[in-house]
Structure 1
Amino acid sequence: MQLGVGTRASVTLEPVRYEFANPAGDEWDDNWLVISGGISAPDTEWEFSVPCLTTFEAKQISAWLRSVADGSIPVSVIGDAGVVPSLEFTEPNLAFSVDSYRDESTSVRVHFALETKPVGQSSDDRDQFWVEVAVTPADLDSAADEWDKALSAFPDR
């Protein structure tokens, strides 16, 4: 899935494999996915490939993208600890939030922590690091479709 293609910042995320090739009969361990990411922002570029989402958590991303496309996800609150993401997961490596809605585009934040942060950033998961991407509703729907297609190769085990 690609967000922000052709804009100042872009984020590409893709499920690449199960963390463990052979299921062991444990719902959690059997369903961890390695997610590959490529990020381009005005002041930095980096890549990562880490096990950070389960199959059932990963399915939430496309639903969230479609909800942002139709404007039903509220702009994220900024609290004492910073921006509060509207989509978070068991591992704090990735999260998502809405920065703003405009007439023709939406500003979406993709949050990175721990192993998904660029080299040189603090490894403390409480330190927030995100990239804002400008997207249209059509971009979000397309990204959701791409994500669903990629996830179809990784059913719950």
Structure 2
Amino acid sequence: MLTLSNDAGDLLQIWIEDYQYPDPDGYFWDLNWLNVTVRWQRGTEIWQASDPCLSTEELLELQAWLNEIQSDTTGHSNIGFMEPCLRFEWRQVNSMPMLSICLSSELDPRRSDKLPDIMQKTGMPSHDEDAHSGIWLEFPTSAINIHNLVQALTNMSAQFPVRHERPLIEE
């Protein structure tokens, strides 16, 4: 599980529940979609959603991306995926490295009719002018242990490895 917090009182957790299609038979893409759960807490209020929005290969790409950032925290970099529900950005804000995570599409909290009032009134930073681009939560590096994030992704990718199609056996 990825766990991030910031001074604004946000706690964001992201984890893999399981494969979207648990049956190990099927086409490569169907075999490798993962159900991702996001839990955002501010104070005592909690919002949570799940969506099959990440593939096993994208999970490995995210792991490699964070591993690269661990080596060089001074640059600017971002990563997005086929399904536009999650985006990650590493950037400098007032000379401080910051990890920003965008929740959009099916994981956009504003799409929920169960979003607590405190979260609706929160000044959620947006990097885009498009109000439908999702919300961004920002986590300064002073509150992040990148090594722990890489390890969490390593554990998730070990639990949910890339699966391959089984060859058809002719009778």
Please state which band the TM-score falls in when normalised by the shorter chain. 0.7 to 0.9
Give the number of equivalent residue pairs.
144
Residue 118 (structure 2) aligns with: none
Hey, which of these two has a bigger chunk of helix by percent? Answer: 2
Length-normalised TM-score, structure 1: 0.76
Q: 1:95 to 1:6 in 2, by over 3 A?
A: closer
Please say if residues 89 and 99 of structure 2, whose CA atoms lie closer than 8 Å, have aligned partners that are also in contact.
yes
RMSD (CA atoms): 2.8
Q: Which runs of 5+ in 2 are unaligned?
A: 113-129, 164-171
Give 1:101 deviation, angstroms. 6.4
Q: Does 2:85 align with 1:93?
A: yes
Question: 1:94: Cα distance to partner?
Answer: 0.5
- Structure showing greater radius of gyration is 2
Match of 1:74 in 2: 75
What is the SS of the residue equivalent to 2:24? coil
Equivalent residues in 2 for 1:107-122, closer than 5 Å: 107-120=98-111
Shift of 1:151: 2.2
Within 1, Cα distance between the matches of 2:5 and 2:30?
33
Preserved CA contact (<8 Å) 1:93 1:116: yes
Give unpaired runs (5+ residues) of structure 1.
77-85
Identity fraction in percent: 23
Q: Are the equivalent residues in 2 in contact too, given 1:4–1:134 (CA < 8 A)?
A: no
Q: Check whether the contact 2:5–2:143 (CA below 8 A) recurs between aligned residues.
A: no
Q: TM-score, normalised by structure 2?
A: 0.71
Please state whether the residue corresponding to 2:64 is helix, strand or coil.
helix
How do 1:126-137 residues align onto structure 2 when only pairs under 5 Å count? 126-136=132-142
The equivalent position to 1:143 in structure 2, one of 131, 149, 154, is: 149
